[in-house]
Amino acid sequence: MVSQIGALPSEDALAKRIADANAAAATSNKRSSETRNALAESEAALKRAETADESAWSAQRAADAAFHQLEAEVKALDKLAPPANAKFPPVLASIEVEAGYERALAAALGDDLDASTNADAPVRWAGAEAPAPHLPPEAHSLARFVKAPAALAARLSLIGVVEASEGAALARKLPPGGRLVSREGDLWRWDGFVRRSDAQQPAAARLEHKNRLAAARKELKAAEDKTARAKTAWETAKAERQKLETETRELRADAPKRAAAEADAAREAERL
């Protein structure tokens, strides 16, 4: 009995063991609580990252689809454009017309747009001195809306753009060689010749294709840049989601261990 009593810890030693057990329980409780909080925050962040990843992926797919659609359009329009290496390229290839005036220019020049400015071409624009224009004051010179080789200056100086509803009346004021056109593609000539806008005009389609090709090429470059940015944004969002998936997975695995350690520490403190 005396030996058993002697084996019991002193009051000071027991108090220290109890204090240590309580401290261990408090530390374990704190660690478990921190892990639970971290897990809750990580899971919430993971949900946000998953939403951001899906949104960025959708934006990247949309940008990529728009890029490929424009790319296909440019390829199709390229096939309709005059060959860049043609021996006698048509003057149409050297003309820039303001959008909305393609049909007016086509009405004014028609098949003459297929002629070349090359001096050796069998059908060509050789150029001439531009006469002083004597168009009706209501008419706007077509040259204002067209950038063309100098060889077309004489022809363009004699062409005015008017409202379709006024063309017939204003045509009576035209000087010899003068022409009036509307943006819709009507033509009135000084000699009484008239061609309505609903008449077939292949040149108008070629000019519209040319303008659309130029615009589509610019849009394609912008779409390419947008696709690159969207891809970078998606890759960033995906990397963030993957990082949070790893962190959350580790916390999910650690949380039960922390909880078990907390329970063990609490039982040990209660036992003492």
Q: DSSP secondary-structure letter at 114?
A: G
Cα angle 165, 166, 169; round to 5 = 125
pLDDT tens by residue, 190-226: 999 999 999 988 888 889 899 999 999 999 999 999 9
User: What number is the average pLDDT over the span 28-51?
Assistant: 92
Please give the Cα distance from 86 to 131 (Å, whole number).
Answer: 32
User: What number is the average pLDDT over the span 83-104?
Assistant: 88
User: What number is the average pLDDT over the span 1-26?
Assistant: 68
pLDDT tens by residue, 216-249: 999 999 999 999 999 999 999 999 999 999 999 9
pLDDT above 70 (res 126): yes
User: What number is the average pLDDT over the span 162-177?
Assistant: 95
pLDDT above 70 (res 9): no
Please give the Cα distance from 230 to 224 (Å, whole number).
Answer: 10
Q: Which residues pair with 140 in a beta bridge?
A: 161
Q: Quote the pTM value.
A: 0.65
pLDDT above 60 (res 4): no
